[in-house]
Chain A
């Protein structure tokens, strides 16, 4: 036991004396959370649009002021001639042009029907679709406000409610994903590199020629990184609650336990990587590159898994972060209890047992 403790202490010395490790350990999660929380978002804010108002009447003024009131748009109200519109798009700054034809108000009030042209830059289809949807909604709203009692014979009025995330806050989706990503990368990279470093520096030779059992070397390596990864988890959680205003609706201890389980899964994966690679560079490459992409692709927080072809969906089952992501979403956002996530937890536990067994079995008690 004393041997185990001195080994763990040594590991902490390694971590706290190496600036690069510290940077990965604490810089990466903070940076990722801030990046995904603020910079990388699929929401559209302040899109540049141009309104070519050829009508210049009361109705068009009212419509424009409604568009302006929305936080989604920044309006450049210039009267563009029709042939100038394309040039404006080509410059690339303008995302969308709204053309209000001459006589707009008149048509609306007397002809009962007015036209409005919305031209969007569909080289980015998602943005174009979102912008046109927003604008259409504003126009419909305006129309209904004009004639609240309009006598339409049949009318379906959909009342939508956004559950769990009424403000459609994008970070709701990202934070669980980033949590899974960061913990995965940190745990696999740091553990694998730290074991391979012992091989590369030759210290493994001395460790092997000692009474300290090779299995204990593996376990003693995992303990410090478990503690550090849990610290990371707490940091991410604090940042997302206080900075990104994420709710934690479910039980905090449950979330903590599940995260611990996931961290242990990742540590086992890191240990496995370390026993099949022989240089730090290789270990870094395998765990950073080999893990980063599948995690981003197959966790489901950027690309919905449901839209993927079946073979890819099957592959995604092998990615531990996918299960953790589901657990975090269920516990954190929906406030669900262990009764709902037992299946995911069981999958993670099973992966851990398999990975840990393989990595302990393949850990070499000799050099070659």
Chain B
């Protein structure tokens, strides 16, 4: 069953501006952990704001929990949990005051839904009398998640919850999302970090207001056309220039300590000979399995062409 649907949604902020969303359609199944993956400015926050009834789309329709985001906005507002991209709790209220405030605002109590948040709340409970403004980034995110969850929403919208959070807290945060998923809550989450895509059941890769691909992370990786190579030598910056100068190479970019590349024509032997001729030493060339970032880059170039 589809809990969230978007049909041909387009949105432009102001006249003559570059469109923020161009004809976006996708749907999220009930109980699914769905990821919107894309760089800053891709349109992720705009999608969230349209789904949480905060913005009106120029064209297209969208539903949340079977309700129309325009007509039934008031009912949607009481049945979803929303965590905006920027930390948006009251900095001058304590953890406990924030949580109680949002629980009461949604007509419930912390005690009534404590079961749902207890694993997360337990981690910040020792600081419950501390003001939210004085918390670390990771703790702020946990508190914000608690506040978004405290009324037991049907759908949880998390806009870049792990941006600006350290690696350990990020991992913990994704673990918490897995647990919430098991409680039957539909979660739509966005992130600019490609490595986090693997933690979602299905993902939508989004760039410049358009969806590039929607599928499970594995399916997206398996759909990668051709063979990806990792290439390394003593002097990487020169190597990148030289490889790009080689006729048979399709695409080549830096990824960590290696260069990732695909062949258009040409073969491994030809490239190695070419590079040795250019004076490169300690050359390593190996076949690798692409990750989401490789797929993203690949999709970007194919859509550009």
Q: Which residues of A contact B (CB under 8 A)?
A: 2-3, 6-7, 10, 13-14, 17-18, 201-203, 205-212, 365-368
The verdict on A367 contacting B84 (CB below 8 Å), with A13-B93, A13-B97, A211-B107 known, is no
Interface digits, B70-93 against A, CB 8 Å rule (1 contact, 0 not)? Answer: 000110011010101011111111
- Chain B residues near A210 (CB, 8 Å)? 77-78, 102, 105-106
- The answer to whether the Cβ of B244 comes within 8 Å of any Cβ in the partner chain is no
| Given A7-B105, A13-B97, A208 contacting B54 (CB threshold 8 A) | yes
Set of chain A residues within 8 Å of B229, measured between Cβ atoms = none
**Binding site secondary structure of chain A:** helix
Q: Are A6 and B82 in contact (CB under 8 A)?
A: no
B90 to A6, Cβ gap below 8 A? Answer: no
Residues of A within 8 A of B73 (CB): 365-366
Closest 6 CB pairs of A and B: A202-B88, A211-B78, A6-B104, A209-B82, A367-B54, A17-B92
Given contacts A6-B104, A209-B54, A14 and B92 within 8 Å (CB-CB): yes
Given A210-B78, A211-B77, A211-B78, do A205 and B102 touch, yes or no (CB 8 Å)? no
Task: Assess whether B52 is interfacial by the CB under 8 Å rule.
Answer: yes
Q: Which residues of A contact B49 (CB under 8 A)?
A: 367
Taking CB atoms, residues of chain B closer than 8 Å to A2 are 104, 107
On whether the beta carbons of B88 and A209 are closer than 8 Å, the reply is no
A13-B97, A206-B147, A210-B106 are known; give 6 further A-B pairs, CB within 8 A.
A6-B101, A10-B90, A13-B90, A203-B88, A209-B53, A366-B55
Q: Decide if B100 is an interface residue (CB 8 Å cutoff).
A: yes
Asked if residues B90 and A14 are in contact (CB atoms below 8 Å), the reply is yes
Contacts A3-B105, A6-B100, A6-B101; A203 near B90 (Cβ below 8 A):
yes
**Smallest CB gap from A368: residue in B:** B55
Identify 7 residue pairs between A and B in the complex whose beta-carbon atoms are under 8 Å apart, listed by A's number: A2-B107, A14-B92, A201-B91, A210-B105, A211-B107, A366-B73, A367-B54
Please give me the residue from chain A that is nearest to B87 by CB atom: A202
The reply to whether B90 and A211 contact each other, CB–CB distance below 8 Å, is no
Residues on the B chain within 8 Å of A202, using CB: 84, 86-88
Residues of A within 8 A of B77 (CB): 208-211
Pairwise interchain contact B82-A203, C-beta atoms closer than 8 A: no
> Does B233 count as interface, using CB distance less than 8 angstroms?
no
Task: List A contacts of B74 (CB < 8 A).
Answer: 211
Residues in chain A near residue B86, CB distance under 8 A: 202
Shortest B262–chain A CB gap in Å is 42
Give the nearest-CB partner of A213 in chain B. Answer: B74
